[in-house]
Amino acid sequence: MKENKALNITLTIIRIFVGVLFIFSGLIKANDPSGLAYKMGEFFEVWAKEGYAPSLMHWLNNYSLLFSILMIAFEIVAGVALIIGYRFKLFAYLILLLTIFFTFLTGYALFSGNIKECGCFGDCIKLQANESFMKDLILLALLLILVLFRKRIKQSFGNGAATAVMVVSLILSFWMQWYVLKHLPFKDCLAYRVGNNILKEMTPGKDYVPAKFETILTYEKDGVKRF
């Protein structure tokens, strides 16, 4: 009995932690859906440049904002679902699949070196590729535990109330994104936000290394190349 109680407490802590993390991640990105759309576009452009179905990547890039809005809404709603235990089996598997996808993206960003930041927490909380990858690995391990013991997790309250909470969460997630797209982010975290000194923000930091370019002209005549 004590082992079962300890397991239930552990599962509750993990479930609430993961749920809050997804809600927090969704809300941070909902503050500026365009930022996530730009990051998605960066992935699509890199993959297109590397030859991974370029036509498809360019086509997907046209719908980056739509994908951003839907993904943010899902993160928030799925986080709420985990916390209240709403259709837990379904949402546990969906979040697990999403986290596997996120782990692939952060792993690609880390090991390819083509993308420095994944945009996991928007522009307000910047994580380097290695930090994002480690975060996703830990999250993946926690979700595997929840999926493994999914039958032990029950819904917090009745179906009617739980459904109402989910609907409200969905409406609020879309409303928030609509509002900031029509107006401005609730908290602007960009370097050139209102009130910042743009000239000061454009000043290179101490670790700035200017780019170097070299132009080489090659002349060829009668099969002989000259530089």
pLDDT tens figures, 176-195: 999 999 988 887 776 666 66
Q: Which two tokens stand for residue 130?
A: 């290695």
Q: What is the dihedral of CA 14, 136, 38, 21, to 10 degrees?
A: 10
Is this structure's pTM higher than 0.85? no
Q: How many angstroms separate the CA atoms of 99 and 76, rounded?
A: 14
Mean pLDDT, residues 17-45 taken together = 90
**Count of structural domains within the chain:** 1
Let me know: does 42 contact 77? Beta carbons within 8 Å.
no
Summarize pLDDT for 100-136 with one digit per residue, the tens: 998 998 888 888 877 777 767 766 777 777 888 898 9
Domain that holds residue 208: 2-226
Alpha carbon distance 94, 150 (integer Å): 13
Which amino acid is it at 115?
A: I
Beta carbons of 15 and 83 less than 8 angstroms apart: yes
Residue carrying the six token digits 């060829």: 220
- Give the span between the Cα atoms of 47 and 52, in whole angstroms: 5
